[in-house]
Structure 1
Amino acid sequence: MKAGIHPDYHPVVFMDASTGFKFLSGSTKTSNQTIKWEDGKEYPLVTVEISSDSHPFYTGRQKFADKGGRVDRFKKKYNIK
């Protein structure tokens, strides 16, 4: 690698916002938040919306945020009967 042009690669804790699942991995992401990990060290904390703990492909279960479909929401928004 060419020196001085690549970001620093360091350990980071990623946390799933919907389930609270945390995992330690290497990344170039940075964060102002830190968290104490199981080994007693503090690492930057990066919050993610979806991880393997909450994604339907990995969990085998589908989660629906709302009951109405796209057409129903469109009709409701524009008051179409």
Structure 2
Amino acid sequence: FFISDGLHSNEDIPVMLGETEKRVRNRLANGQPTWVNPTERRGKRLWYSASIGTEPFIVEVILERVREAAAR
């Protein structure tokens, strides 16, 4: 899992999974996800999720863990 989006998760990995650099750049330029789920490559169905840090609730999860640790 990735905590935050960035060059590696948005560009490098989709290309490593077989997406063309041109398609990734075009999707980025249009504000679209750089990977479409599911995608089939070499007879396998691939799913690539967004970084978990982009979910609004992740802040509360982190704060809850901090509170738990502080209470020990």
Larger CA Rg, structure 1 vs 2: 1
For CA contacts below 8 A with separation 6 or more, give which structure has more relative contact order: 2
TM-score with structure 2 setting the length? 0.24
More strand by share: 1
